[in-house]
């Protein structure tokens, strides 16, 4: 017999099983790839599930237009290395069409949902695979692995399909779809351990770097063209890294000197704040922000 | 070590939320911002100290209606092991939610109240856990602080529990005294229960076997998820997860439904060749012969093949708000296999309070557990649920609504 399997082997095997179920049950699936650490893991899992074949789905990124350039460059390079098709849909286009209205430089994070649902309708996807994890947030803690969305893209937490064993039910009518979360059972630490084990490349902003920031409500807000300092705020240059990578206008880095995966792992083990608590401005507006966004079709 | 998945259950006021909060708090699985949110909520509700039951406070939709909607999954780890908690609500919709939470659980943590007789709800939870094949139960007799940490109060609940659970024949049934509120015997032993010599709750959970270990000892069952076409340099491969037993390079297999025999030429795990793969492993398998297999087929050990049947006797757990329609067509799903089916006969209903089968009076409704016969449009390869979970477990899907309406266990 061989060496005992680790918990990462177990999580990997479960995720590969889920991806293959999508391929077996769905006609026209898609995988959300943002260039962030969770979707980087999804791509490796898809390689394990389907290589030497091609992925049975294209990759899709909903581009808010407010991105960290390193992440977009990484996204394009990774898709090219894999030889898989990357589709990009832009919140900017939804604004032009009038389906999204924004004022000034406000966060486009919530507006993503509109563009995302437009993309799903345009391309007729019946399943959309995402890298959300149940440990991220309490609304996600209740989500199924195969999570039904009605024709308006809405999630109804009161009326989820029972999901027993690993018997997933991906049946939908035209216009409806399922969201599928292969790494539901992973924690932030599992993700970093997997990235380290598989030696996966991640965008440079996950590692410590010096960056101008202002301190606002206990968060370090990056100073960029889109997020200038407010009157009276002092700009400092601090050694930081990002724990999560999202829309530039709502994602904050944490103070860090972790320059390697090993150091990130140590820091994650010793973290005293949750991933979202330390980094996301949009989740803090109310206790139920994520829940409300999710019901409206948010990823 | 495999992660341990456990479901929690208990009657509404037995302190389940406090226990989970305490477990996470004492295991240092809560972060500062989560604690700060609990502190704020505790103050808002006028609690003098940190109210750990608020750690598992639910969704806005739940708070509005004062109900718990659904199973929530929580994660924590100790130096010894990782844990996945399926935190199931204890309200009327108990069977449906319990079944979802318990279907993947290795163990049940059952909350009991030291100051009261065992609630009907808790008995039901035990029955459903047993039905779904949970073999290990850890009962935590809570609120001993309200009973002066008296051994007598604990022994009374323990005797009552052991008497009720005896016919259910769990492989292990631990009963632990404690107080979730004060933190006795959850993670720390505390200093008020020196008459108790057994393990604290977390210590016991760290040592429980996971069902993955058990599945590896069963007969080989390898449901086909996908077949990859041959391409330059790579043979045609069968993709799937070994659900039971193990697969050895060179081993004899039977492919169902064709009945054709073949051998394993090669086992690939993510591009790496292996000699053996075990239950729980997702692999690609190259067969020695050009056997016709596709999604929904099963590769099995020819010496211990499953039954091939067009009709199955099952225990049916009805989950949907709409009652069972006796003549309707449903889709039955088992592993990767699907076929149309009808519920040909409903024999009796389980009275979960007395554990007796009683005659059916009226339609089969949500939360009913009945003995039934399924009639299938295509043959299924089935084992008894008690013997092999993956080939003994089925779901019924309504063709019109696409809802998952029932779970079925092969008898």
Q: Is B37 on the interface with A (CB under 8 A)?
A: yes
Select the residue of A1, A16, A169 nearest B276 (Cβ to Cβ).
Answer: A1
Helix (H, G, I), strand (E, B) or coil at B160: helix
Residues of B in contact with A142 (CB under 8 A): 58-59, 69-73
The pLDDT score that the predictor gives to residue B15 is 81
Q: Region B167-177: what's the mean pLDDT?
A: 96
**pLDDT tier at A280 (50, 70, 90 boundaries)?**
low
Q: How far is B288 from chain A (nearest CA, A)?
A: 19
**B309 part of contact set with chain A, CB < 8 Å:** no
Residue of B225, B231, B331 for testing the chain A interface, max A β-carbons within 10 Å: B225
Minimum Cα–Cα distance from B71: chain A residue = A142
Which of A52, A136, A161, A164 to mutate to test binding with chain B, by most B CBs within 10 Å of its CB?
Answer: A164
Whether residue A94 contacts residue A118, with contact meaning beta carbons closer than 8 Å, is answered with yes
Position with higher pLDDT, A225 vs A10: A10
| Dist CA B369 CA B360 (whole Å) | 11
Give the residue, A54 or A107, on which the prediction is more confident: A54
Cα–Cα distance, B131 to B99 (Å, whole number): 9
Judge contact between B374 and B312, C-beta under 8 A. yes
Inter-chain residue contact B59 with A157, CB threshold 8 Å: yes
* Residue A1, pLDDT score: 41
A272–chain B nearest CA distance, Å:
5
The distance of B224 to chain A (nearest Cα, Å) reads 10
Contact B72 A142 (CB under 8 A): yes
Sorted by sequence, the CB contacts under 8 Å of residue B291 that are 6+ apart come out as B255, B258, B260, B262
Q: Would an 8 Å CB–CB cutoff place B303 in contact with chain A?
A: no
Token pair for A129: 């695979």
- Chain A residues whose CB is inside 8 A of the B233 CB are 52
Say yes or no: B402 contacts chain A, CB-CB below 8 A. yes
Pairing of strands A254-255, A236-241: antiparallel
**For residue A288, which residues of chain B lie inside 8 Å, CB to CB?**
59-60
Compute the nearest-CA separation of A138 from chain B (Å).
Answer: 7
* Contact between A167 and B228 using a beta-carbon 8 Å cutoff: no
ipTM of the modeled complex: 0.93
Q: Give the pLDDT confidence score for residue A2 in this predicted structure.
A: 46
Task: Give every CB contact of residue A269 below 8 A, 6+ residues apart in sequence.
Answer: A189
Nearest 5 degrees, angle CA B214-CA B243-CA A178?
125
CB contact under 8 Å between B33 and A163, yes or no, is no
Distance of CA A40 to the CA centre of its chain: 9
Q: What's the whole-number mean pLDDT along residues A1-5?
A: 58
* B73/A185 Cα distance (integer angstroms): 8
pLDDT in tens, B322-362: 999 988 999 999 999 999 999 999 999 998 878 899 999 89
Q: Does B213 touch chain A (CB under 8 A)?
A: no
Distance CA B201, CA B19 (A): 10
**pLDDT value at A284 more than 60:** no
Q: Give the Cα separation of B118 and B164 in Å (integer).
A: 10
SS3 per-residue string spanning chain A: CCCCCCHHHHHHHHHHHHHHHHHHHCCCEEEECCCCHHHHHHHHHHHHHHCCCCCCCCEEEEECCCCCHHHHHHHHHHHHHHCCCEEEEEHHHHHHHCCCCCCCCCCCCCCHHHHHHHHHHHHCCCEEECCCCHHHCCCHHHCCCEEEECCCCCCCHHHCCCCCCCCCCCCCCCCCEEEECCCCCCCHHHHHHHHHHCCCCCCHHHCCEEEEEEEECCEEEECCCCCCCCCCCCCEEEEEECCCCCCCCCECCEECCCCCHHHHHHHHHCCCCCHHHHHECHHHCCCCHHHHHHHCCCC
> Considering CB atoms only, which of A7, A52, A166 is closest to B231?
A52
Whether residue B334 and residue A52 make contact (CB cut-off 8 A), yes or no, is no
Instruction: Name the H helices within B59-178.
Output: 60-65, 94-102, 120-131, 151-165
Q: How many CB atoms lie within 10 A of CB A47?
A: 17
User: Token pair for residue B175?
Assistant: 């009963």
Mean pLDDT of B124-151: 94
Is residue B50 within 8 A of residue B42, CB to CB? The reply is: yes
User: Does the distance separating the beta carbons of A142 and B70 come in below 8 Å?
Assistant: yes
Helices (H) and strands (E) in chain B, counts: 9, 23
The reported pLDDT for the residue numbered B92 is: 59
Asked if B402's CB is within 8 angstroms of A172's CB, the reply is yes
pLDDT tens, residue by residue, B97-120: 788 889 999 999 999 999 999 988
Instruction: State yes or no: pLDDT of A4 exceeds 80.
Output: no
From chain B, pick out residues whose CB is under 8 angstroms from the CB of A48. 270-271, 282
Residue B322 three-state SS: coil
Lowest mean pLDDT among A242-251, B192-201, B222-231, B362-371: A242-251
User: Which of B24, B70, B224 is the best mutation test for A, with the most CBs of A within 10 A?
Assistant: B70
Mean pLDDT of chain B: 91
pLDDT for A211-232, tens place per residue?
Answer: 999 999 888 999 988 888 999 9
- Does B252 score more than 90 pLDDT? yes
Region of residue A28 (left: phi > 0; alpha: psi -120 to 50; beta: else): beta
CB contacts, 8 Å: A272 with chain B: 31-32
Contacts of A52 in chain B (CB under 8 A): 228, 231, 233-234, 271
Average pLDDT of B376-395? 96
Interface probe with A: pick from B82, B400, B407, most Cβ of A within 10 Å: B82
Distance from CA of B146 to the nearest CA of A (A): 31
B389 vs A contacts (CB less than 8 Å): 165
| Cβ-based contacts of B395 with chain A (< 8 Å) | 162, 164, 167, 169
Contact B404 A292 (CB under 8 A): no
Classify the C-alpha dihedral B152-B153-B158-B161 as positive or negative: positive
Question: How close does chain B come to A41, measured CA to CA in Å?
Answer: 14
Please indicate whether, in this complex, the C-beta atoms of A142 and B226 are within 8 angstroms of each other.
no
State how far residue A85 is from chain B, nearest Cα, in angstroms: 20
- In chain A, which residues have their Cβ closer than 8 Å to the Cβ of B29? none
| Chain A: closest CA distance from residue B11 (Å) | 20
C-beta of residue B98 within 8 angstroms of C-beta of residue B9: yes
Phi-psi label, residue B33: left if phi above 0, alpha if psi -120 to 50, beta otherwise: alpha
Q: Do A187 and B281 touch (CB under 8 A)?
A: no
Determine, for residues A288 and B334 on separate chains, whether the beta-carbon distance falls below 8 Å. Answer: no
Contacts of residue A103, defined as CB under 8 A and 6 or more positions apart, other chains included, come to: none
Question: Which pLDDT tens digit goes with each residue over A119-165?
Answer: 999 999 999 999 999 988 878 888 899 999 999 999 988 788 999 99
- Does residue B39 carry a pLDDT above 90? no
Q: CB pairs below 8 Å between A and B: how many?
A: 157
Q: Which residue, B107, B134, B143, is CA-closest to B8?
A: B107
Percent of residues, chain B, with pLDDT higher than 90 = 69
Q: State which residue of chain B sits closest to A295, comparing Cα positions.
A: B61
Indicate which of B367, B402, B407, B408 best probes the interface with A, i.e. most A CBs within 10 Å of its own CB.
B402
Phi-psi region of A297 (alpha: psi -120 to 50; beta: other; left: phi over 0): left
**DSSP, residue by residue, B277-301:** EETT-EEEEEESS-----TT-EEE-
The answer to whether A17 contacts B225, with C-beta atoms less than 8 Å apart, is yes
């Amino acid at each position: 017999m061989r060496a005992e399997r680790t918990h990462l082997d177990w999580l990997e095997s479960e995720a590969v099983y889920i991806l293959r179920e999508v391929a077996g049950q769905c006609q026209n699936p898609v995988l959300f790839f943002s260039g962030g650490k969770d979707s980087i893991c999804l791509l490796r899992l898809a390689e394990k599930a389907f290589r030497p074949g091609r992925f049975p789905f294209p990759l899709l990124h909903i581009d808010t237009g407010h991105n960290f350039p390193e992440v977009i460059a990484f996204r394009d390079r990774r898709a090219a290395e894999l030889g898989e098709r990357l589709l990009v849909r832009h919140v900017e286009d939804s604004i032009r069409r009038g389906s999204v209205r924004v004022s000034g430089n406000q966060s486009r994070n919530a507006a993503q949902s509109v563009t995302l649902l437009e993309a799903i309708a345009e391309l007729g996807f019946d399943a959309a695979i995402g890298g959300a994890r149940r440990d991220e947030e309490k609304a996600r803690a209740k989500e199924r692995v195969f999570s039904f969305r009605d024709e308006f893209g809405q999630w109804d937490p009161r009326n989820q399909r029972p999901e027993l064993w690993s018997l997933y039910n991906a049946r939908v009518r035209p216009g409806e779809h399922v969201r599928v979360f292969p790494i539901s059972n992973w924690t932030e630490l599992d993700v970093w351990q997997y990235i380290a084990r598989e030696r996966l490349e991640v965008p440079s902003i996950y590692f410590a770097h010096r960056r101008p920031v202002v301190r606002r409500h206990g968060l370090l807000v990056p100073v960029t063209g889109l997020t200038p300092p407010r009157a009276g705020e002092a700009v400092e240059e601090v050694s930081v890294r990002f724990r999560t990578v999202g829309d530039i206008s709502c994602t904050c880095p944490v103070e860090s000197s972790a320059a390697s995966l090993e150091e990130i792992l140590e820091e994650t083990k010793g973290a005293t704040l949750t991933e979202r608590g330390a980094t996301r401005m949009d989740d803090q507006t109310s206790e139920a922000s994520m829940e409300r966004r999710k019901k409206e079709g948010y990823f | 070590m495999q992660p341990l998945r456990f479901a929690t259950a208990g009657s509404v006021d037995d302190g389940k939320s406090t226990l989970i909060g305490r477990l996470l708090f004492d295991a240092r699985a809560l972060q500062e911002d989560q604690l700060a949110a609990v502190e704020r909520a505790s103050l808002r509700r006028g609690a003098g100290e940190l109210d750990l039951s608020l750690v598992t406070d639910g969704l806005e939709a739940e708070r509005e209606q004062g109900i718990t909607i659904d199973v929530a999954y929580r994660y924590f780890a100790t130096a010894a092991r990782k844990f996945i908690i399926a935190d199931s609500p204890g309200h009327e919709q108990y069977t449906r939610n319990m079944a979802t939470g318990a279907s993947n659980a290795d163990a049940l943590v059952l909350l009991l109240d030291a100051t009261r007789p065992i609630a009907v709800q808790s008995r039901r939870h035990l029955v459903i856990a047993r039905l779904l094949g949970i073999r290990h139960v850890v009962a935590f007799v809570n609120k001993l602080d309200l009973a002066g940490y008296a051994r007598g109060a604990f022994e009374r609940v323990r005797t009552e529990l052991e008497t009720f659970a005896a016919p259910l024949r769990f492989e292990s049934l631990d009963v632990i005294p404690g107080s979730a509120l004060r933190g006795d015997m959850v993670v720390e032993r505390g200093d008020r229960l020196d008459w108790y010599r057994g393990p604290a709750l977390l210590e016991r959970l760290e040592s429980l076997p996971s069902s993955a270990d058990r599945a590896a000892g069963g007969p080989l069952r390898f449901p086909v998820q996908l077949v990859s076409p041959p391409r330059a340099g790579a043979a045609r491969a069968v993709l799937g997860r070994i659900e039971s037993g193990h697969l050895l390079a060179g081993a004899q297999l039977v492919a169902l439904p064709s009945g054709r025999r073949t051998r394993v030429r090669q086992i690939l795990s993510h591009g790496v060749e292996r000699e053996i793969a075990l239950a729980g492993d997702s692999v690609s398998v190259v067969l020695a012969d050009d056997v016709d297999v596709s999604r929904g087929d099963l590769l099995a050990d020819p010496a211990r093949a499953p039954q091939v049947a067009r009709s199955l006797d099952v225990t049916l757990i009805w989950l949907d708000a709409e009652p069972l329609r006796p003549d309707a067509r449903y889709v039955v799903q088992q592993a990767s296999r699907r076929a149309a089916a009808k519920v040909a006969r409903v024999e009796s209903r389980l009275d979960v309070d007395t554990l007796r089968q009683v005659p059916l009076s009226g339609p089969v409704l949500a939360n009913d557990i009945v003995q039934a016969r399924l009639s299938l449009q295509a043959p299924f390869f089935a084992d008894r649920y008690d013997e092999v979970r993956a080939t003994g477990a089925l779901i019924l899907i309504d063709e019109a609504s696409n809802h998952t309406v029932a779970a079925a266990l092969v008898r």
